[in-house]
Structure 1
Amino acid sequence: MSKYFGTDGIRGRYGSKFVNESFAYALGQAIGHHLEPRTSLYIGIDTRHSGQSLAGALFAGYQSTGQKAVFMGVVPTPVVSFTVENYAPLSFGVMITASHNPADDNGFKVFGNHGRKMTVAEEIALEAHIDKALLSKAHPVASAKLHFEPSFLENYLYILKNTIDVSLRGKRIVLDTSNGAAQYASPVLLKAFGAELIHIGNAPDGQINKDCGSEHPQLLSKTVLEHQADIGFAQDGDGDRLIACMPDGSIVHGDHLLGFLALYATKKNKKLVVTEQSNIGLDIFLKQHGIDVIRTDVGDRNVFHEMVASKAFIGGEESGHIIFREHLNTGDGLLAMLKLLECLFLKHHSLYDFCKSMPLSPSEKASIHVNDKPPLETLPAFMDAMSAIRAQLGDRGRMVVRYSGTEPKIRLLVEHVDANVVQAQMKALKDAVRKHLPV
């Protein structure tokens, strides 16, 4: 089990034990000792106020090992993965971001060789170097002035522009970039294809994800209706998630989006990799169309590695991470947006009709803050409560209970063919959490 890494990198409140300049310096040193000589570290940040300071410490720590670090500036997370994969496959990349978390949080997403998120085993190996660096009690030097080269983002956008062939002239599109890293990239793409753009969530003031973006789609829905747009999109703070909104203001369920793209966006082998959080209705519908659904643990890192193992070309999470493996080794909200637009306005498939044709089983999700994360199997009374709930759900429903890998929360999912059963058993599950866990 990883010591510092969660399901998607290292994340926490800025200034906390693992998200501060001293830790960033140690992480830089650790990566420098972990990598082969004469390799580089590519560093990107989102729009949080703490990003540049953490980048300076990480930069200094890496260069203290005699290696070369490159600062990429404010870029979406997939740009870091893309750059390592295509220009320096034996190097590493770090995106300094806390993704969809509040602005006061920050963190480190680490990309290994070929721009891939590391396996748990690789994370544990890197953590041994982090421990050594922390024990050395090295302090970050004063952050050197960071210079960045805009060509990294330009190269990525050039490739994406040539990925699809669709005209968006006459199409009115609302785009919410969550006051985050994608605000300098996504609008460029949409305008390049001729779209009439209404851009919101585009304040570079450090208030990333505040009442906007993928975590707050109400603003997107409202704006789509106000402007009578053809479609709307919301991304998260670092640009690796995508949420879609139809012209009637309804937000597209993440599993509908995955199913639509699996059916229409690729003709290559008919497999879709999802996580345990996806609705069983997705499996049932796609099976009727000859597409196998393969499930794995939560986290787009797990989705990617299962895609490699099963030779699948598309996978993702219902939260909005979508991976097209033939193009990139990580989730990319910008690429997913272009692929969806191609299906809608070049291939002329109806997302509205698709959503009506793919029923989802009644389900309910909840998150509860916890003060600690004791292993659930060490809580016998809670395990008994879960067993009783599973018995009530029977073979026509399911339950998923897991700790968040990025926040101090426990995630709950209850699914059943009967909505009344879902409601009752979710209440029972919440009651059990509050009674038996340190909340």
Structure 2
Amino acid sequence: MARLFGTDGVRGLANGLLTAELALQLAQAAAVVLGHERAENGTRPRAVVARDPRASGEFIAAAVEAGLSSSGIDVYDAGVLPTPAAAYLIADLDADFGVMISASHNPAPDNGIKFFARGGQKLPDEVEDAIEAQLGKEPSRPVAGDVGRIQRFSDAEDRYIVHLLGTLPHRLEGLKVVLDCANGAASGCSPQVFASAGAEVVVIGAEPDGLNINDGVGSTHLGQLKEAVVKHGADFGIAHDGDADRCLAVDHEGNEVDGDQIMAILALALKESGKLKDDVLVATVMSNLGLKIALRDAGITIRETAVGDRYVLEAMRDGGFSLGGEQSGHVIFSDYATTGDGVLTGLQIAAQVAGTGRTLQDLARAMTKLPQLMINVKGVDKSRAATDEGVAAAVAAAELELGDTGRVLLRPSGTEALVRVMVEASDMETATRICTELAGVVEDRLAIPRELAL
């Protein structure tokens, strides 16, 4: 049977894969696995539960809280909050663990359940496997005064906002910022924190109705933000996704500033202030080669990981590094957060614009993005991508031609029968030619025989 936990919790169609029954059972299983330490010490374990504003989050949260409290866990219901806020509050409250109910940047019909350990840390695979193994076993069933209690975490958002404001080196007076909250979890706190920091704020995508999350707005749909920044003459714009663990930006002319450019700006700033641990940035293999070139010239090393913010986090924890992230806008400041935080990232970008007096466009010129093309080659045997001699020879020839001016990346999909072929080069014509040629080799060499495909 396929593993229930994916790369970021349990996610699927609400009331399809993700039912109230499954939510209840997952909560009961998590109570056993994550709540045992305090229970063994004779005190009742505590958990923080938060969600994004999807309509399905209401019944899923109710099921999760029922599963936890019936298993002897005291529940702090934090309501609608960003994922990084939930992670922060778990640590701030010294809770045993926490649950975030969100499907991040996915459309409204989807939802997900993500567990955090003590301190707001993401769970390692083996702990997720232990929760999954506990499903179907007899849950903990305390009675009388030993059942858990559910209470509203009334100052949850305020605590998070105070924390965010405490990360700023100075105030943001003089800046005009457009915020796109994706009709998601940051719709309340992001405008409030930017305004409290002194910025003039224009807000779009901040009217969640339970069904419009990520619908034509947010970090996956930047069109409205680009228009609003230009229309209002703003200094720049910030886009969150549904649970606000991502941040992308738009400069004053409406040009996109992606996660790689954001990391370049922030890594250079941290190095200058002496706060970039070991002068290392942690990024995934998908980050643009232009980022590595720009930071190398500034004396900063990139530590590469597999794709996924959990792998970035693992590398950051292992090395004690202070900054990491992904091209998609997951940016992690280990001094302030245990996961990607889109509101925090937006504030730090704003602080750099305000503190330097430079435009975001000028700051983003710290790196030059190399042209990049990716082709998904479908219907192939992805298990042979790393071992086929013909594919290896074609990749080697491409890398020899590109030299230091580009790179090749072949990445089998984790969920589909396809291989992603990505090529970066000094110009798009070269990237297109080499990527197309390599995709053809992959398709020919790794084709699944017709009789097996049927």
C-alpha RMSD over aligned residues: 3.0
Partners in 1 of 2:374 and 2:152 — Cα distance? 41
Count matched residues: 424
Question: 99-108 vs 116-125, which deviates more?
Answer: 116-125
Partners in 1 of 2:81 and 2:106 — Cα distance? 17
- Listed as ranges, the matches of 1:48-59 within 5 Å are 48-59=54-65
Equivalent residue in structure 2 for 1:100, among 96, 105, 112: 105
TM-score (norm 2): 0.85
Partners in 2 of 1:166 and 1:310 — Cα distance? 29
Q: Which amino acid aligns with 1:32?
A: A
Q: Is the 1:92–1:111 Cα contact (8 Å) retained in structure 2?
A: yes
- Listed as ranges, the matches of 1:296-335 within 5 Å are 296-335=305-344
Q: 1:412 to 1:221 in 2, by over 3 A?
A: farther
Partners in 2 of 1:107 and 1:24 — Cα distance? 9
Q: Is the aligned partner of 1:191 residue 2:195? A: yes
Q: Which has the larger radius of gyration?
A: 2
Equivalent residue in structure 1 for 2:47, among 41, 53, 57: 41
- Listed as ranges, the matches of 1:57-96 within 5 Å are 57-89=63-95, 91-96=96-101
Partners in 1 of 2:226 and 2:202 — Cα distance? 13
Q: Which residue of 1 aligns with 2:426?
A: 417
1:340 is displaced (CA, Å) by: 1.1
1:390 is displaced (CA, Å) by: 1.6
Q: Report the 3-state secondary structure (helix = DSSP H, G, I; strand = E; otherwise coil) of the residue aligned with 1:401.
A: strand
Partners in 1 of 2:363 and 2:281 — Cα distance? 17
Q: Which residue of 2 aligns with 1:178?
A: 182
The answer for unaligned runs of 5 or more in structure 1 is 137-143
Q: Is the 2:385–2:391 Cα contact (8 Å) retained in structure 1?
A: no
Q: Which residue of 2 aligns with 1:152?
A: 156
Q: Identity over the aligned pairs, expressed in percent?
A: 34
- Listed as ranges, the matches of 1:115-154 within 5 Å are 115-132=120-137, 148-154=152-158
Q: 1:56 to 1:197 in 2, by over 3 A?
A: same
Q: Which residue of 2 aligns with 1:12?
A: 12
Partners in 2 of 1:313 and 1:402 — Cα distance? 30
- Listed as ranges, the matches of 1:190-209 within 5 Å are 190-205=194-209, 206-209=211-214
Q: 1:10 to 1:368 in 2, by over 3 A?
A: farther
Q: Which amino acid aligns with 1:218?
A: G
Q: Which amino acid aligns with 2:305?
A: T
Deviations 1:112-148 (A, max 9, x none): 12110111222222221135369x9xxxxxxx99763
Deviations 1:59-111 (A, max 9, x none): 1111221222221100000111001112125x111110000011111101211
Q: Is the 2:259–2:326 Cα contact (8 Å) retained in structure 1?
A: yes
Q: Which amino acid aligns with 1:318?
A: Q
Q: Which residue of 2 aligns with 1:141?
A: none
Q: Report the 3-state secondary structure (helix = DSSP H, G, I; strand = E; otherwise coil) of the residue aligned with 1:122.
A: helix
1:285 is displaced (CA, Å) by: 1.4
Q: Which residue of 2 aligns with 1:221?
A: 226
The answer for unaligned runs of 5 or more in structure 2 is 141-147
TM-score (norm 1): 0.88
1:427 is displaced (CA, Å) by: 3.6
1:409 is displaced (CA, Å) by: 8.3
Equivalent residue in structure 2 for 1:344, among 335, 353, 367: 353
Q: Which residue of 2 aligns with 1:358?
A: 367
Question: 388-397 vs 306-315, which deviates more?
Answer: 388-397
Partners in 2 of 1:33 and 1:20 — Cα distance? 20
Partners in 2 of 1:344 and 1:308 — Cα distance? 29
Q: Report the 3-state secondary structure (helix = DSSP H, G, I; strand = E; otherwise coil) of the residue aligned with 1:181.
A: coil
Q: Report the 3-state secondary structure (helix = DSSP H, G, I; strand = E; otherwise coil) of the residue aligned with 2:107.
A: coil
Partners in 2 of 1:412 and 1:41 — Cα distance? 42
Q: Is the 1:46–1:237 Cα contact (8 Å) retained in structure 2?
A: yes
Question: 409-418 vs 189-198, which deviates more?
Answer: 409-418
Partners in 2 of 1:101 and 1:369 — Cα distance? 23
Q: Is the 1:2–1:123 Cα contact (8 Å) retained in structure 2?
A: no
Partners in 1 of 2:180 and 2:48 — Cα distance? 27
